[in-house]
Amino acid sequence: MRQPPLFPESVERSLRQLPVIGEQRDITYYGTHARSILNAPATTGMSFWSINPYVGCAFGCAYCYARYAHRYVMERAAAEDRLVDVARQDAASMPSWLAFERHIFVKRNAADTLRRTLRYGSAKHHALLDGEAIAIGTATDPYQPAERRFRVTRTILEGLAEHPGLTITITTKSPLITRDIDVLTRLARHSAVSIHISLITLDRELARRLEPRAPTPDSRIRAIRRLRDAGLEVGVNCMPVLPGITDDPRALEALVKRVADAGAVSAVVCALRLKHEARKRYLPFIEQEFPHLADRYRNAYATSHYVHSRYRAGLASYFAQLCRRYGLRNSMRSDDSPEDEELTASDPRDEQLELPMTQEWVSESVGQ
């Protein structure tokens, strides 16, 4: 015979629900307990282990590729009746690309979970000691506004600092990372630590349109200087490059020169990729903010989430020239490297905007 519930259904339901632990304008933060925090390469399909302290990101970058991951979390929480009523209604009515930046899940137990995972002698600990890397911030920014209050990323770094011999990369747009210079320098004494500041334009107004709640370009440049002054290795992720918007050769050169002057040691580039959830956000954004490019984008990304190989080859070639000119190590993301052809770009000071990367995405895609 089934036992009656210990508490009324309303109480049972409230105990199931994820607590609201903070609000910021139109953003709600939910506390959640992660069963796992260190994602294996076999799970993600990437060549490294990954840690994301948060699910969702308040920066709201129009081009963000990671919106798809948030949808599954929201749907699972709704199916398990773990969302408060407002969030449950939003899950049913709000586009998933918007929920990504309005409903942020905070993994409050991340540090404790990580410590258990990396206990000495575990298989994961051995794999990491054998040189497999950990990347922090592959899907959401680990130093988004929530980190100022909840400090999940900092506690993760403190946990990693207990294990020498690791290889760790951190990717962020936020100068908040400089708050943790003390932990980062301690970590770097016994592990290989590299920090990647994401920066796609120096134009403050353009950045505000593309990344409405992200820190300004100038503040990121200052963060690079502070981190380098502390002896930490800092590179720049100039990605994604947005065709027709941030790919002006002179603007790219100004960016590379500026970050090199600030002390950056490397730069990584890739062109915009538009997968399913990102497309839902980005293409309407282009129609509203850059309507003269709307048809070109629809054609350029009509059959693939990559812009065509000729554009990517031109971008890679030109960016490599810039990095050599300003003394930066350079690489192109392995999943973005053109496979079917190579192209040598001319110096933009001679041909202005006639580089393949700025013109061919239009002519080949639209058939001009």
Place of tokens 């002057």: 261
pLDDT at 25 (0 to 100): 81
Write out pLDDT tens, residues 187-221: 999 999 999 999 999 999 999 999 999 999 999 99
Write out pLDDT tens, residues 22-60: 888 889 899 988 888 888 887 777 788 899 999 999 999
Q: How is residue 252 written in tokens?
A: 């790219």
Is 35-51+111-366 a CATH 3.80.30.30 domain? yes
On whether the CB atoms of residues 313 and 356 are closer than 8 A, the answer is yes
Give the separation between CA 349 and CA 333, rounded to whole angstroms: 26
Give the separation between CA 314 and CA 346, rounded to whole angstroms: 9
Is 316's pLDDT higher than 60?
yes
Is 261's pLDDT higher than 90?
yes
pLDDT at 205 (0 to 100): 98
Buried b (16+ CB within 10 A) or exposed e, 32-69: bebeebbbeeeeeeeebbbbbbbbbbbbbbbbbbbbbb
Residue with the bigger pLDDT between 70 and 61: it is 61
Contacts 24+ apart (CB under 8 A), 78-85: 80/16, 81/13, 81/16, 81/17, 82/16, 82/17, 82/18, 83/17, 83/18, 83/30, 84/17, 84/18, 84/20
**Dihedral sign, Cα of residue 109, residue 60, residue 279, residue 47:** negative
Write out pLDDT tens, residues 113-169: 999 888 866 777 777 777 789 999 988 999 999 999 999 999 999 999 999 999 999
With 0-12 / 13-18 / 19 or more C-beta atoms within 10 angstroms meaning exposed / middle / buried, residue 158 is middle
On whether the CB atoms of residues 169 and 133 are closer than 8 A, the answer is yes
> What is the pTM assigned to this prediction?
0.84
pLDDT at 274 (0 to 100): 93
Write out pLDDT tens, residues 277-308: 889 999 999 999 999 999 999 999 999 999 98
Among candidate residues 181, 105, 174, 188, the one with its CA nearest the CA of residue 142 = 174
The domain segmentation of the chain, as residue ranges, is 35-51+111-366
